[in-house]
Amino acid sequence: MIQRIVNLFLAVTGGLTLWAAFPDVGWWPGAFVAVALLWWALREDNAWWNTLAGFAFGITFFLPHVRWAINATEIAPWIAMSVIEALFLALFGALWTWARRAVRAGLRGRDAPVRAGAWQAVAFAVVFTAVEQWRAEVPFGGFPWGRLAWTMVDAPLGRAAWLGGSVLVTFGVCLAGLGLAAAVHTLLTGPRAPSSAGRAAGVIVAAAAIVAAPAALPLPASADTGTVRAGDGAAVYDAGRDLGEEGVLRVGAVQGNVADPDLGVFAARPEVFGNHLEGTYELAEEFAGELDVVLWPEDSTGADPRTSDAASAALDAAATTVGAPILLGTQEYPPGGGRYNVSLLWQAGQGATQRYAKQHPAPFGEYIPLRGLVRLLSDQVDRVTRDMLPGEAPAVMDVPVRPGVARSGGSVRVATVICFEVAYDEIVRDAVQRGAQLLVVPTNNAAFGWTAESTQQLAMTRMQAITTGRAAVQVSTVGVSGIVAPDGTLVTSTGLFTHETLAAVLPLRAAITPAVAAGYWPGWVVGVLAGLLVAAGVAVRVSARRGAVRAGAQRRGHTAPDRDALVG
């Protein structure tokens, strides 16, 4: 029992350590420590106890990690979401118990502890990565928040996303973390001999190599990234113009803000619309006629400008003054009920010429599945009076540009990934496969207050830039907004609840990274391998139980006739 209490303590400590690996703390080495602690916490060869330890790890991590959910709703939905996500870690505890039995059975009789440990580490990484991938897909389309990969955006290992996306990065975090666990275990339990210290050092070197090796990958690195100055002194941020395979795009971004952070954007929509108009005129004072497009955040207009003459006229005037179309966010209410969360490209005198509707509304935030059942847990479901409908078109828009801006012709294809969609690899990947030359992530973080939600999201935007080899802009109503180079470098970012404008030069790229070319395959591979490992472990367990039953039967005398035959 003492050992099990220690295991639960390690699980809780591991969950808190993993929380510290994410923004705003951002101590990315903590992800490796957390994996090592989880490994030790799951030492029991008992699926039920490991399920409990896995849940303890998960709930300790998710409760503080998604603390921002309280700001948008109340305590009950926050706890419910944390519990649902933690159940996947509980599932991992059980699956790993069975998978480990398969690995041990396969290595039985071999006296190579280092090799046996390596195979167990690979199996652990496979099963963990598979469960994380399943969590990103189910239920209700999944929730990829809290993936190990997101912690690595500032680490060398994060560059592995260029090669295999978030799946490969998470796999690498697991391997490196288990290398750390193996080294510490060897030093603490092995004989005090040079050979033990040598094995520990060798494992540490191998783990360090996993972390550092991706630094050698040929990501598109720029020599120009940084801040440049226009002739009148206005700041322009260069996201790597020397990387522009198809030219560059000059963009402005407006973070309008709200006067009272406690009200949020929904209670102050007219004010938010006015603030973004004001920011556009501020850009016009510095860059009139020099920008190709002005970017506004998600839900930044209040009224749908296609149905409001006043909003339409105000947008026409602003677009004319700045000399560029405006990519904005609004809500669309179809006659049949429900609503769409849309991005529109607004051109002066023409209105909305391009439209994208969010494909992946957030369950329990933008629509309520199982509304009647969920209402029994919290009346907060009634705050969502009209469920958001999923869009069906891909997350791309063609932005018309002046001659000579883009080598590909008179328009630039932009990925318009709305808010939480940046966490879903398949949506971003699909946009790039369809020709997106850069990423735009319009988001509305006003409902989450002063929490780390927006910086967590910016880390995902940066990781998607690495994965796709595309420059990216995250533009928020209240912050944090940021300009990101194609290798994930954060060129600049804004503060929370500030009124700011940004101007940037973004490279237009066409090259397809290995991660984008691989598509779903990395996730499918780990999923199949994890399934095979677990199935083999179950078979080992069933076989062992049958053997025990036969042995018990023999001890009870069922083999007496055989003994008589031998005597005779």
pLDDT at 560 over 90: no
Q: Is residue 350 located within the same domain as residue 265? A: yes
State yes or no: pLDDT of 565 exceeds 50. Answer: no
Check whether residue 294 and residue 400 sit in a common domain: yes
Q: Which of 190-204, 351-365, 485-499 has the highest mean pLDDT?
A: 485-499
Q: Nearest 5 degrees, angle CA 444-CA 448-CA 451?
A: 120
Q: Are residues 336 and 445 in the same domain?
A: yes
Confidence category of residue 384, pLDDT binned at 50, 70, 90: low
Instruction: Please check whether residues 205 and 230 belong to one and the same domain.
Output: no
Least confident of 186-200, 397-411, 475-489: 186-200
Please tell me whether residues 512 and 525 are part of one structural domain: no
| Residue 428 included in any domain | yes
Task: Answer whether residue 241 shows pLDDT above 70.
Answer: yes
pLDDT at 556 over 90: no
Bridge partners, residue 367, by sequence: 363
Q: At what angle do helices 2-21 and 47-65 cross, to 10 degrees?
A: 30
Judgement on whether residues 275 and 420 belong to the same structural domain of the protein: yes
- Confidence at 75, pLDDT banded by 50, 70, 90: confident
The verdict on residue 332 lying in a domain is: yes
Task: Find, among 410, 425, 293, the residue nearest to 346 by Cα.
Answer: 293
For 400, the enclosing helix (H) or strand (E) is strand 396-400
Quick one: DSSP state of residue 451? S
- Mean pLDDT comparison of 138-142, 175-179, 366-370, highest-scoring range: 175-179
**Residue 568 within a domain:** no
pLDDT category of residue 412 using cuts at 50, 70 and 90:
very high
For 127-163, how does the pLDDT look when each residue is reduced to its tens digit (9 = 90+)? 999 999 999 999 889 999 999 999 999 999 999 999 9
Do 326 and 454 have their domain in common?
A: yes
Percent of the chain with pLDDT over 90: 72
pLDDT at 408: 66
Residues 117 and 180 in one domain: yes
pLDDT at 564: 42
Q: How far apart are CA 206 and CA 216, in angstroms?
A: 16
- Only one residue has tokens 């494909």, namely 359
Res 321 pLDDT > 70? yes
CB 177 within 8 A of CB 32: yes
What integer pLDDT is reported at residue 228 of this predicted model? 82
CB 381 within 8 A of CB 373: no
Token output for 255: 């973070």
Instruction: Mark whether 526 and 448 lie in a shared domain.
Output: no
Place of tokens 């369809």: 434
Judge whether residue 262 has pLDDT over 70: no
The answer to whether position 366 is within a domain reads yes
AA identity, residue 291: L
Residues 211 and 245 occupy one common structural domain? no
Alpha carbon of residue 442 to chain centroid: 16
Q: Is residue 563 part of a domain?
A: no
For the chain, the residue count is 568
Extended beta strands in 155-286, E state: 226-229, 235-238, 248-255
> Is 410 a domain residue?
yes
Are 303 and 431 contained in the same domain?
Answer: yes
Q: What is the CATH number of the domain that holds 409?
A: 3.60.110.10
Task: Using a pLDDT cut of 70, give the percent of the chain over it.
Answer: 89
Report the number of distinct structural domains present in the chain. Answer: 2
- Highest average pLDDT, of 329-343, 533-547, 550-564, comes from 329-343
> What was the pLDDT predicted at 305?
95
d(CA 263, CA 271): 11
Can you read off the two tokens belonging to residue 469?
């080899």
> Is the four-CA dihedral 386, 387, 392, 395 of positive or negative sign?
positive
**Residues 226 and 242 sit within 8 Å (Cβ to Cβ):** no
**Does 494 lie in the same domain as 377?**
yes
What is the mean pLDDT of the segment spanning 39-43?
A: 96
pLDDT at 563: 41
Q: Which domain holds residue 239?
A: 226-516
Residue 553 lies in a domain: no
pLDDT of 314 above 60: yes
> Does any domain span residue 414?
yes
Measured distance CA(125)–CA(35) in Å, rounded: 10
